[in-house]
Amino acid sequence: MYDLNGKLYPCSTSITMDFIGGKYKTVILFHLRKATLRYNELRRMMPGVTERTLSIQLKQLEEDGLISRTVYTSKPPLKVEYALTDFGQTLVPLLESIAKWGRDVAGEKAVVKKV
């Protein structure tokens, strides 16, 4: 058993999945691995996600300390940017491995159309 912040996990992969589990969390993190992005930029990169789901996933990633949210209010319109934190950056090798595995499987077993 692993204890992290008072929460018990049966194995170390459970810890990882607690942070990145969710249909779009890994996708969000993958897009943020190389650049700071605004909400609408993320939304355009993920056409299948609803605004509500994206907002919830972003909030959870921020609460877990994986991403930072910066709001600029100096002049209208309101501007919000998201970026990986130092803690979030530690996931980049894992995200790239997951993406590579997906490309390899798709290359072997499926016809892939890039959108």
| All structural domains of the chain with their residue ranges | 23-109
Q: How confident is the model at residue 7 (pLDDT cuts 50, 70, 90)?
A: confident
CATH number of 23-109: 1.10.10.10
Contact 84, 31 (CB under 8 A): no
Tokens matching residue 40:
């609408």
| pLDDT tens, position by position, 21-56 | 888 999 999 999 999 999 999 999 999 999 999 999
| pLDDT tens, position by position, 67-115 | 999 998 888 888 899 999 999 999 999 999 999 998 888 876 655 566 5
The per-residue pLDDT for 112 is 53
Q: Which residues of 22-36 are buried (b: 16+ CB within 10 A; e: fewer)?
A: bebbbbbbbbbbeee
